[in-house]
Structure 1
Amino acid sequence: MDDPTAQATLPLSGIRVLELTHGHLEGCGRFLADLGAEVLLVEPRGGLPSRRRPPLKDGVSLHFASHNANKLSVELDLDDPAAIERLGALLDGADIFLESTPGDWLQRSGLAARLRPELVTLSLTDFGRSGPYAGFAGSNAVLLAMGGVLARSGIKGSAPLLPPGELAYETAALQAAWVALGALWNVSNGGAGGYFDFSVHEATLQILDPGMGVTGSAAGGRSALELAPRGRPPFGNGYPIFACRDGAVRICLLNPRQWQGMSAWLGDDHPFTDPAFASLSRRFKVIREINALIAELFRDQAAADLVAEGQRRGVPIAAVSRPQEVLRDQHFRARGSFVELPLGDGSAGRVPFGFVEIDGRQAGVRQPAPALDADSDRQWAAVAERQVQAQRRPFAGIRVLDLGVIVAGAELGRLLADQGAEVIKVESGAYPDGLRQSLDNRPMSISFAQGSRGKRSFGLNLRDPRGVELFKRLVAQSDVVLSNFKPGTLESLGIDYAVLSRIKPDIIMADSSALGNHGPLSRSMGYGPLVRASTGLTWLWRYPELDEGYSDSTTIFPDHFAARVSAAAIAAALLRRQRSGRGGRVSLCQAESILAALATDFLEESVAPGAFVARGNRDRFDAPGNLFPCAGDDEWCVINVRGDAQWRAFCEVLERHDWLGDPRLADAAGRLAHAAELEEGVAAWTAQRSPVQVRDLLQARGVAAGDMLRLDQLAADPQLQARRFFRTLHQPGLDAPLLTENAPALGPLPEPRIRPAPFLGQHTLEIAAELLGLDAESRAELVRDGVLEPASAEVEALLADAAGHPLDTETPT
C-alpha cells in the first residue's frame, strides 16, 4: 500500500507533526499525513480512547482505523517526568503541534516553556480556550444546534433534523488543517508560529451553511439570514426528487437552456411550452404542476436510464444513491474513490481514499493506522532557532488569479484574500458569476459581497484570443490559479494546467469540480444538490420514518467545506514550491469531499452491509442522546449523555434516582435498549424549561447539552462576542453593513482585512496598466473590441458616491 517514492513528492514531505489530541479532530492530523507530513500520535498508556470508540469490528475501532491511517504511534506515560522530557524533545523537532490537553496541563507539565516561536501550536477544543463556554462539553449534535445549523434542517411540520454523520467535527478538522498550514507558511517566510486557539463551534458556523457566508445561485443574491425561516424550510421544490422504478432521482433546473432540455423531454403538448417559462421565477409560480408532469414521466423508468437521458438532453440529474450503491458506483470505482484499508485483525474494509489529488495522484491512504507504540524509537532532530520577523498576514505577496464561480469558487478565493493574498477575480459580463444575480437587478448582491470581499475584478473576454493572451501574461506574474469550471472548459479555452505550466513552471493550479476531472461522469453538470444525491448524503439526510422526508434541499454543503480543503492543499503546495521550486496541480472532487467526511460510516457499511442508514436524531452509542422540545414556541435543545459518569450526573440533575438504581440502565447498551422510555421522561423535564436553562443545568455537571440557535440569535451569543467572532463589511451598492466572520482561529496573526467586494470590471483598467503595461490607447482599443471589460457607468457612479465612506474595517465590531 505504501509507496515511498510517491510520498517523497507529496507537498508536506519533511514536515513533522506531533499530535497530542483525543478523539473527534483526528481528521486534522490524518489530512496532514495524507499530504505527506510525518504525523506522530502521542498515546497514553493503553492507547488513545479512540482505539476503543465504536463502531467496532471484532474489537477494532473503525473510527480509529479511518482517522489515523498514515500516522505513527508512540506510547508515553504522561505522569512520568521522563516521558514528559521525551515529549519535550519531540516538540523541539516538530513543525506543528496539535493538542487538546485538559485545562492548564501544558503549563503544569512544563511543556508550555518548550513551545518555540517557530512552532505552530494548534489547540483543538469544542468551544475554544476562552469565553463563557470554554469549559462546555461538546458533541456533534450540540455543536450543530449551537452553530445555527440544526434550526435550518428538516421539513415543515416536523422536529428539526440532525444531518448524518459527524459533520461538525469532520469539517472542522479540515479547517484546523487550513489554519495550521497557513501559519506554517508564515513561519517559512520568516514569521512566527505561535499558539492558535481553535474552536469547533466557530468552525461549524463558518463551514456548514454559514449565516454570514455565500449562498447558492438559486438564492438570488440574498443572504442566509434573509432566507432562513423561523421554523423548518418547506419541502424543496427547487431541487425536487422524483421516485422512479428502482429508487429516486433529483434534478436541478436553473438556467433557460436546462429548462428547454426538460421541456423537450416532457414532449410538445404539455401546458408549459411557452418560452416565458424559461424564466426561473415564472416556473416557480407553477412548480407543483410542472413537477407533477415530471413525476409521471419518470415513475416507470430506471434511475440509470434517466441519468443517461438527462445527460444527453442537458438536464442536470443524479440518482439518489444509497451507501451500498455508492460503494458499487461505476464512476467512483473508475476514479478509485474507495480503497482497501487493512483493519489489523486480518480483515479489510473499503474507505474513501482521502480528499485531493496532487499532480494527478491521490493524496490519501498509504498505510493503515499504526499499532500502539509501533514507533517507540522515533527521534526528531531539534529545529534550529532563528530570528522571527514582525507578523503579517500569511499570504501577503502571493498573487492569485481567481476563475472561480458560485459558492465553492468564491469561498476559496475569499479565504486566501482574508489571509493577505492579492486575489484577482477574472470574469466577464457575457458569462457572469451566478452570485452576481440579484432579485432587484442591482450590480452587487449580498451573497457576492460575502464571497468576494477583498478581491479585485478584472473584466476579460476569454472567448477572444487576445483575452487569452492577456490572461497568460497575468499567469506569468502570478502564483496560483483557481478554477471550478466543468472539466474540459479550461482546455477548450487553451488555458489548462499543461499550457499554464509551460508559461510559468512553478505555477500552482487548483481546480475543483462536482465529480472530479476524470471518470465516466466527470463532465456531467454538477450542482451541490446533485453531488449530495450521488454520494448518498441526500438519502441519509432524511427522517427514517417518512418515505419522502429528504431534508437537504436548503443546505449548500459541501461548497464551503470543499473550499477549505482546497485552501489547505494550496498552502501545502506553496510550501513544496518554496522548498523545491516545483509548482503543481491540486484537484478536488466535491463528491469525494463528502465521502471522506463520512469515512467511518462508509468503512462500516463495507464490512457490515446495511449499517449506514438514515438514523434521525437518536444517538446510536449511548442514551439519552436526542433532540428534545423545550418551553416556548418551537424551542429545542440537544442532550448527549456519554458514559456512565455523565449518566450519573444527568440523573442527579433531573432528580431521577429511580433511573440511577435501575440495573437495566447501568451501561450504554442497556440505556440504548430503553432509549424510547428514557426520552419520554427527559422530554417531560425539558418541556418545563427553556433551552438555555437545560443547557446550563447539564453543562454545569459536565453533560453535553446545547440550545438550538437560529441565525438571528447568533450575533447576541456571549461566546461569539467574547471571542470577537464577528466583523462588519461596508459594501458599496448595498443599503446596510453586513455581518461577516473573523479569522478561523484566535492567534498571533493579524486579523483579516475586511474590504469590499469588487463590482464587475472595477479594477480592469488599473490592472491592465499596472500588471500588463498597456498604455491608454491600447486599453481603449481593447475596451472598444470587447476584450477588456471595465466597470459600467452605473458602477462608477456608485463608487463615486461611496468615496470617503468607511469601507475598510480593520477592527472587529
Structure 2
Amino acid sequence: MNSAVNSLPLKGLRVLDLVEGSLGSIGRTLAEWGATVVRIEPRSGAADRLAEPRIADISLSFTVANLGKDSVALDLNQPADKAEFELLASTADILIEDFGVRRDRFRPFDIEAMRRTNPALVVLSLSGFGATTSFTEWQATDPVLHAMSGELSRSGLPGREPLLPPGELGLQCAASQGLLAVLAARYSSLVQGRGDWLDLSLLDGAAAALDPGYGSSGSAAQGVPASKLPRGRPEARFQYPIIACADGYVRICMLAPRQWRAMFDWLGRPEEFADPAFNTLRARYKSKTLIPRIAALFAGKSSAELQAEAQKRGVPLSPVLSLDQALSASQFTSRAALVEVELVSSVTVTVPNGIIEFDGKRAGLAGPPPTAGSGQDIIARGWPARTTHSAGDSGLAGKLPLAGLRVLDLGVIVVGAETGRLLADLGADVIKIENASFPDGSRQTRGEPISVSFAVGHRNQRSLGLNLRSDEGKALFHDLAAKADVILSNFKPGTLESLGLAPKALLARNPKLIIVDSSAFGPTGPESRRMGFGPLVRAAAGLSLQWRYPDDPTSFSDALTVYPDHVCGRIGAAGVLALLLRRLETGRGGTISIAQAEVMLGHMATEIACISARERGHTVEKFSQPDAPWGVFPCAGEDEWCVITVRDNMDWQALCRVIGRNDLAKNQALFGRHGRLAEIDFINAGLKEWLADRTADDAALALQTEGVPAAPMLRVADLPQHPYYREREFLRQVSHPKIDEFFYAENLVVNAERLSLPHQNPAPMQGEHSIIIAQELFGFDNAKIEKLLADGVLEAYSEDVGHASP
C-alpha cells in the first residue's frame, strides 16, 4: 500500500490565515488535517493574543484557535512587508481572512490582484452578514447569531425569557460551514483548474450548521418542521426527559418502539402502560404519569447503576455530566480525545485533540500555539514542497465539483441525512440504501407520504431498497461498493461488520473507496457501543448541564435543539473532501471516523483549557459576567426580545449615545472588570426603559447603526420574509410531488463566484429508484429484477402500497 495513504490528507496544502479570534478554528482544523497554516499578524502582535480568558499574558482563547500554526509578523500597511505577503500569496492554495467581521479592521490588500497572479487561489472571506446585503455593516457576536438564526427562540422554557445557549456554538458551527466550503472550492480548483472567492456570512453558517429551522429535524419531532412550532418557547422536555437520581441526573431518549418495550419491561410491565398505543411517540408524549413513574424507578439509584442497567436492557440513557466530569470520563481518556499542551515553561493546559480520525489514526494536535514571528523564515525559504495533484479536468468545467462521483448512503436520521445531502448538493450521485424492515426514523410522519423534514434533508438523492440481511443483498452491495467513491454510515460501531460489510473487505476490493462512520462516542473505547443520540451526547459531554437558567438547576433547556447532528454532517462531508484531495495524488481512498461527542468538546475548547488551568492552580483572568449590557432584553410587544452585546469601550460609548445617556459614555470605569454591580443594574434599567416602547427591529437597527452588536430575536417562521434572508437568497421555495404545499429549503453552502447553486431534485420515496439502479448499475434485465423483488432482495416503491415493497 502506498505509504501516502496513511498520511494526513491535506499534507502539502498551503494556507494563509489572517483570522483573529475563535474563527481561527478553521485554520487550526486544516493544520490538524495536515496543511501548513501560516498566520499573518502585525509585527506588534495580534490583538487576540491578549484576549480573555488569560493566564497572565497568555490568552487561552488565542491558544485553542491557533494550535499547530506558524506565525509570520508583517505590517501590511508597509510596502516592503506587503510585498512579502503578496509573494507568499502568489504560491498559496487557500487564503482565509475576516476583515469583514470587525468594524475596526480594514483589508489592506487587493484580493482580485492576488487572484490574477495566482488563478488557482481559493479565498474565504468571513463577515458577520455577508458582503453584498444591506446588513453588511452590522456587527456579529455569538448571541446575535443565535437571535437572528431562529435558534434563540427555541431555547428556554415556556413563560420565561429566551435563554442564550452556552459557549460560542453559533460561531463554531459557522466555522464548520467555512471548513466545508473552502475544501469544496479547493477540490473544485484542482479538478476544474480555477480557484474561487467565497463570501461566508457567519449568520448563514450558524443558521445552516447549528440547528437549521428549514433543515432536517430529529425523529422526536415526528416530521413537524420548526417553522410550525407554537409561538414562544414550547415545552419539549418530555421528548428527552432529564430525571433526578441519587447522585445527579440522567437523560433518557426513547424513540423506537423496541426502546419503549425495553423501558416497559424495566418498569415491571405495569398495566397502566400496556396499551399497544404506547409504542408510538404521540401516546408516550401525552401521558401525564409515564415520566413520574420512571422517576420513581430511578430514585435512589446512582447514575452509573442506571447507565449499566439501561445499556443491558437496550434503553438509551446517559448521566448528565458537568464539563469537568466529562473530561475525566474513561471514553474520552481512552481515545486520547484530550491532550496536554505546554504554553510556556511550567504552564500546561488540556485541550481537545482534534475532531476526526483518518485511516484509524487521530488527526489531532498539530503543534503548540505559535509565538509571534515563529515562522518568519518561511519568507526566505518558501513554502514546504507542495503535494502533486492531478491536473484540472476541463470536461468538468462549470459543473458542481463532485459531479461524476457516486456515494452509497447508509446513514440515518439527521447526521446521515446531512452528510449525504451536502455531498449531493455538491454534485455527487448519492444513493440512499434503505430497507422496509428497518426504516430511517426520519421518514416517520403523522400519516403523510413523506415529511417536509425528510424532503429537505434528502434532496438530490436516489433511493435503493436493498435487504442487507440476505446473502444476495450483501453481494449486491459489495458489487455497488466496487463501483462507488464514498460510503456513508452512522450506525453504532461494529454494525457494518455484523452485516458482513466490514470496511477492510470493501477497501480490499476497491482501494479508491472512502468510508465514513459517524457515531456518538467513536469506534473505540469502553463506551463505544453505547447507544447515542444527540440529546445523550449533549448530556455526556457536559453541555446540557450548562444550558440552564442560572436561578433554576432543573431548567434544562436544550430539548428542542438538534445539535451536534448538523455540524457533524459538515465535518463528515469536509473529511470526504480532504480524502478526495489526497486521492487525486495517491489514487487510493481511506476511512474517516467521527465521534459526535468529540466534535462537541472541540467547540468547548476554551472552557476546557480554563478548567484544566484552574485545576493546576493557575489564576485565569476571565469575566464571569460582562460589566456592561450583554444578553437578552424585552422590547415592545408580547414575547419580543432584542439581544445586545457590548464588547468594549467603543461599543459602550455608542450605546450611551443611542439611548441618550452621554453622561455615562465618558465614564469608562463603568465598563470593565471593575464596574460596580449597582451601577450595572442602573445601566440595564435605563436600557430596558429605552427598549420598552421600541420594537426589537427598531432597537437593533438603532444600535447597529452606531456599531453596537444587537439583533431582534427571530422565530423560524420569520426567516423567509426577513430582509436579510431574502437579500442573501439563503432559502428557496420548493415543492415535492407527494407534499401538497410549497415549503422552504436551504439554498447554498456559501456565496461564491464559481461554486454553483445545488440542484433541487425531490427527495426519494423509499425504494423509488431501485429498478432503474438495478438496470443502470448492475445491467439486470426485467426477469432478473422481478426475481430479486419476489425474493425480497430488492424493494421498489409502489404507489398503491405507499412505501417500498418486494
TM-score higher than 0.5 here?
yes
Counterpart residue type for residue 205 of structure 1 = A
User: Aligned partner of 2:445: which letter?
Assistant: S
Q: Which AA in structure 1 matches 2:174? A: A
Q: Tell me the equivalent position of 2:322.
A: 322
For residue 76 of structure 1, what is the aligned residue in structure 2?
74
Could you tell me how far apart the structure 2 residues matched to 1:610 and 1:153 are? 34
1:457 paired to 2:463: yes
Separation in 1, partners of 2:666, 2:556: 40
Residue 44 of structure 1 aligns with which residue? 42
Q: Could you tell me whether the CA contact under 8 Å between 1:728 and 1:754 is conserved in 2?
A: no
Match of residue 615 from structure 1: none
1:726 offset after TM fit, Å?
1.4
Q: Residues 756 and 144 (structure 1 numbering): CA distance in 2 closer, same or farther, change over 3 Å?
A: same
Shift of 1:795: 7.1
Of 699-708 and 261-270, more deviation after overlay is shown by 261-270
Alpha-carbon deviation of 1:583? 1.1
Shift in Å at residue 136 of structure 1?
Answer: 0.7
Structure 2 counterpart of 1:232: 233
Aligned to 1:336: 336
Aligned twin of 2:620: none
Residue 555 (1) aligns with residue 561 (2): yes
Corresponding residue number in structure 2 for 1:534: 540
**Maintained 8 Å contact 1:622/1:643:** no
- Greater shift after overlay, 514-523 or 602-611? 602-611
User: Which residue is 2:770 aligned to?
Assistant: 764
Match of 1:732 among 723, 731, 737: 737
- Residue 697 of structure 1 is matched in structure 2 by 702
Q: Distance in 1 between matches of 2:33 and 2:576?
A: 11
Distance in 1 (alpha carbons) for counterparts of 2:427 and 2:697: 39
CA distance in 2: counterparts of 1:236 and 1:41, whole angstroms = 44
Counterpart in the other structure of 1:570: 576
1:440-479 equivalent positions in 2, closer than 5 A: 440=447, 442-479=448-485
Structure 2 CA distance, aligned partners of 1:451 and 1:257? 25
1:808 aligned residue: none
Offset from partner CA, 1:397-418 (integer Å, 9 cap, x none): 1110000100010011000001
Identity %: 44
For 1:250, give the aligned amino acid.
Answer: R
Matched, 1:774 2:780: yes
Q: Supply the distance in 2 between the matched residues of 1:280 and 1:499 (Cα, whole angstroms).
A: 39
List runs of 5+ in structure 1 lacking aligned partners: 612-617, 799-813
What displacement does 1:261 show? Answer: 1.6
Following the alignment from structure 1 to structure 2, what is the Cα–Cα distance between the partners of residues 410 and 251?
23
**Equivalent-residue separation in structure 2 for 1:673 and 1:506 (angstroms):** 66
Secondary structure (helix, strand or coil) at the match of 1:735 reads strand
Distance 1:687 1:484, change over 3 A: same
Cα displacement string for residues 193-243 of structure 1 (whole angstroms, at most 9, x for unaligned residues): 1211100011111112211100101111221212x2210121511111111
SS, match of residue 541 in structure 1: coil
Cα distance 1:647–1:604, how it changes in 2: closer, same or farther (>3 A)? same
Post-superposition shift, 1:672? Answer: 7.2
Measure, in 2, the Cα distance between the counterparts of 1:353 and 1:506: 28
SS at match of 2:745: strand
Mark the CA change 1:119 to 1:137 in structure 2 (over 3 Å): closer, same or farther: same
Which residue of the partner structure matches residue 710 of structure 1? Answer: 715
Aligned-pair CA distance for 1:331: 1.3
Aligned to 1:250: 251
Structure 2 residue aligned with 1:806 = none
Deviation track 1:268-309 (CA, whole Å, cap 9, x = no partner) reads 4563234442332222221x3111111111121111111001
**Partner SS, residue 243 of structure 1:** strand
- Residues 110 and 521 (structure 1), Cα distance of their counterparts in 2 relative to 1, 3 Å cut: closer
Mapping of residues 146-157 of structure 1, within 5 Å:
146-157=148-159
Q: 2:27 pairs with 26, 29, 45, which one?
A: 29
Aligned with 1:404 (options 408, 411, 416): 411
Matched-pair contact (CA < 8 Å) for 2:466–2:795: yes
Residues 723-732 or 671-680, more deviating: 671-680
Letter in 2 for 1:685: W
Contact (CA 8 Å) 1:250, 1:320: kept in 2 or not?
yes
Q: Is the 8 A contact 2:176 2:209 kept in 1?
A: no
Note if contact 1:63-1:600 (Cα within 8 Å) is conserved in structure 2: yes
Match of 1:522 in 2: 528
Q: Which amino acid aligns with 1:140?
A: D
Structure 1 stretch 575-584 or stretch 175-184: which is displaced more? 575-584
Distance in 2 (CA, whole Å) between partners of 1:454 and 1:24 is 34
Aligned-pair CA distance for 1:154: 0.3
Question: Does residue 492 of structure 2 align to residue 491 of structure 1?
Answer: no
Q: Is the 8 A contact 1:107 1:113 kept in 2?
A: no
Query: How far off its partner does 1:46 sit?
Result: 2.0
Confirm whether residue 431 of structure 1 aligns to residue 438 of structure 2: yes
Question: For residues 336-368 of structure 1, what are the alpha-carbon distances to aligned partners after superposition, in whole Å with 9 as ceiling and x for unaligned?
Answer: 111112223531111111110111111111311
Query: Which whole-Å CA distance do the structure 1 matches of 2:573 and 2:11 have between them?
Result: 18
Deviations 1:538-562 (A, max 9, x none): 1011112102110001111000000
| 1:14–1:36 contact (8 Å) kept in structure 2 | yes
Secondary structure at 1:729's aligned position in 2? Answer: strand
Worse-matched range after superposition: 455-464 or 578-587 = 578-587
1:98-117 matches, within 5 Å, as: 98-101=96-99, 109-115=109-115, 116-117=118-119
1:503 and 1:45, CA in 2 relative to 1: closer, same or farther beyond 3 A? same
**Aligned partner letter, 1:686:** L
Decide whether aligned partners of structure 1 residues 669 and 745 sit closer, same or farther in structure 2, where only a CA change above 3 A counts: farther
Counterparts in 2 of 1:174-189, with a 5 A limit? 174-189=176-191
> TM-score, normalization: structure 2?
0.94
- The CA deviation at 1:662 is 4.0
User: Could you tell me how far 1:54 is from its partner in structure 2?
Assistant: 0.7
1:644 shift after superposition: 1.2
In 1, the alpha carbon distance for the partners of 2:293 and 2:595 equals: 33
Counterpart amino acid of residue 296 in structure 2: E
Does the 8 Å CA contact 1:428/1:461 hold for their aligned counterparts? Answer: yes
Change (3 A) 1:478 1:514: same
Find the counterpart in structure 1 of residue 292 from structure 2. Answer: 292
Measured against aligned partners, the alpha-carbon deviations of 1:459-513 in whole angstroms (never above 9, x if no partner) come to: 1000001000000100111100000011111000111211110110121001101
Distance in 1, Cα, partners of 2:197 & 2:178: 13
Counterpart Cα distance in 2 of 1:707 and 1:793: 46
The answer to which of 470-479 and 293-302 deviates more is: 293-302
1:19 pairs with 2:25: no
> Given the alignment, which residue of 403, 417, 420 partners 1:413?
420
What does residue 370 of structure 1 align with? 370
Equivalent-residue separation in structure 1 for 2:149 and 2:64 (angstroms): 26
The residue type paired with residue 225 of structure 1 is S
Alpha-carbon shift at residue 619 of structure 1 (Å): 7.6
Aligned to 1:143: 145
- Mark the runs of 5 or more structure 2 residues left unpaired by the alignment: 618-622
* d(CA) in 2 for partners of 1:576, 1:649: 50
Query: How far has the Cα of 1:610 moved from its partner?
Result: 12
| Offset from partner CA, 1:690-749 (integer Å, 9 cap, x none) | 111111111111111111111111111112211221112221110112211111211122
* Match of residue 422 from structure 1: 429
- For the pair 1:202 / 2:204, whether they are aligned, the reply is yes
TM-score normalised over the length of structure 1: 0.93
Q: Does the 8 Å contact 1:191/1:392 carry over to 2?
A: no
1:722 partner amino acid: E
Alignment RMSD (CA, Å)? 2.4
The answer to whether 1:393 aligns with 2:375 is no
Deviations 1:565-622 (A, max 9, x none): 11111100110011112211010001111111111111111112599xxxxxx98345
Q: Is the 8 A contact 1:400 1:481 kept in 2?
A: yes
Distance 1:285 1:108 in 2: 60
| Number of the residue aligned with 1:614 | none
- 1:346-357 to structure 2, matched below 5 A, reads 346-357=346-357
Distance 2:637 2:181 in 1: 39
> Pick from 745, 750, 773: which aligns with 2:750?
745
**Offset from partner CA, 1:726-775 (integer Å, 9 cap, x none):** 11222111011221111121112211111100111111011111101112
